[in-house]
Amino acid sequence: MNRDDTLIFGSRGSKLALAQTRLVMTELETLFPGLKCELKIIKTLGDRILDQPLAKIEGKGLFVKEIEKALLNGEIDIAVHSLKDLPTEQPEDLMIAAVPRRADVRDVLYSPHHVALQDLPPGARVGTSSLRRSAQLKRLRPDLQICDIRGNVDTRMRKVDSGEYAATLLAAAGLVRLDMLNSRMVFLPLSDMLPAPGQGALALEVHRENKRALRYARVLNHEPTASAVLAERKVLSALGGGCAIPLATYAEVVGGNVHLKARVIHPDGAPVLFAEGYAPSDQAEMLGQHTADDLMAQGALDIIQIAS
């Protein structure tokens, strides 16, 4: 058992994962003078397998399973995840204790010469390992050559700078947390590129019996963000959840109500199924289910089967 004045955080070893975890650690140490936060780096399956597209690796939780094992074993107190990497099904003894205020949910296009998506040359090679991004790119620019790309933000940017790819897509939230936004990045509007469920949000995961960690983590929960991502993740879980689904969702809370939009896109870019709805914040999960039902009525499961 850890000392009462110490919390041990588990994180992947990537620059982004470490930056996100340290942000949370610093915030808690600021809020609770005398609290000491320590970091334990854990390598996950997704970090070890770099020669295969994410969608082709079997199983869910490629970036979290080993970290969740450390939580279950009591090796760490709190895990900080990118919420979009966290499966909708968790081990029974674990829970999301808090979802802090969300960062920018948009994707950005990175190219050497600050080129917007519509200005990329015909047939240009664009790197992405995300089915969601790939399908939406093909919807917007069916002429582009979409190629798999793996690696952290630095690696993907280097591959673009070297000419291997004309451009790549990156999550704005990660770039902000790494202080890497620059003039060669163009924000993609949500009308063109809806984000992944939970994109831009963090999840603080704890063991249900670790009351001390739960008490500290809950202080950082941002209720509007938590309601929004709950709706998004319910769409994902209802459709069979996982990275092999070309699903894009975005929800926001306005005036106490959740407004949810969702797309399921054929891997070739068409057809595109769309659903949206509104509900009070305390009915966010039900809204997610209704939105998923709407998509399934339009044939979403057929597209998902093709994608997988």
Q: 69 is written with which tokens?
A: 């094992």
Strand order in the sheet with 107-110: 145-147, 125-127, 167-171, 107-110, 185-187
Do the domain assignments include residue 194?
no
Domain limits at 67?
1-100+201-221
Statement: the pTM of the whole predicted model exceeds 0.75: yes
Shared domain check, 265 and 131: no
pLDDT grade for 185, boundaries at 50, 70 and 90: very high
Residue 273 structure tokens = 């199924």
Q: How confident is the model at residue 6 (pLDDT cuts 50, 70, 90)?
A: very high
pLDDT at residue 35 is higher than 50: yes
Greater confidence (54 vs 281) lies with 281
> Do 158 and 232 fall into the same domain?
no
Shared domain check, 261 and 128: no
In a domain, 71, yes or no: yes
Domain boundary among 135, 164, 187: 187
Q: 283: which strand partners?
A: none
Can you give the pLDDT at residue 57? 43
- Is a pLDDT exceeding 90 seen at residue 9? yes
Of the residues 77, 85, 268, 293, only one is catalytic, namely 85
* CATH number, domain containing residue 245: 3.30.160.40
Same domain as 85, residue 122: no
Residue 51 is predicted with a pLDDT of 47
Last residue within a domain, chosen from 187, 211, 239: 187
With respect to residue 308, please indicate whether it lies within any of the assigned structural domains.
Answer: yes
Looking at the structure, do residues 57 and 205 belong to the same domain, yes or no?
A: yes
Q: What is the pLDDT of residue 308?
A: 78
Q: What pLDDT was estimated at residue 3? A: 56
Q: Which residue has the higher pLDDT, 252 or 52?
A: 252
Sign of torsion over alpha carbons 60, 66, 69, 70 = negative
Looking up residue 131, the CATH number of its domain turns out to be 3.40.190.10
Residues 205 and 74 in one domain: yes
What pLDDT does residue 62 have?
Answer: 62
- 72 plus 10 within the same structural domain: yes
Considering the domain architecture, whether residues 298 and 150 belong to the same structural domain is answered as no
Same domain? For 23 and 162 the reply is no
Kindly report, residue by residue over 113-156, the tens digit of the pLDDT. 888 999 999 999 999 999 999 999 999 999 999 999 988 899 99
Residue 104 annotated in active site: no
- Is residue 193 assigned to a domain? no
The pair of structure tokens assigned to 49 is 């397998």
- Do 131 and 122 meet the contact criterion of CB atoms below 8 Å apart? no
Question: Is 158 a residue whose pLDDT tops 70?
Answer: yes
Predicted pLDDT of residue 47: 54
Question: What's the number of domains the chain is made of?
Answer: 3
Q: Do 124 and 96 lie in a common domain?
A: no
Residues 1 and 96 in one domain: yes
Let me know: does 193 contact 107? Beta carbons within 8 Å.
yes
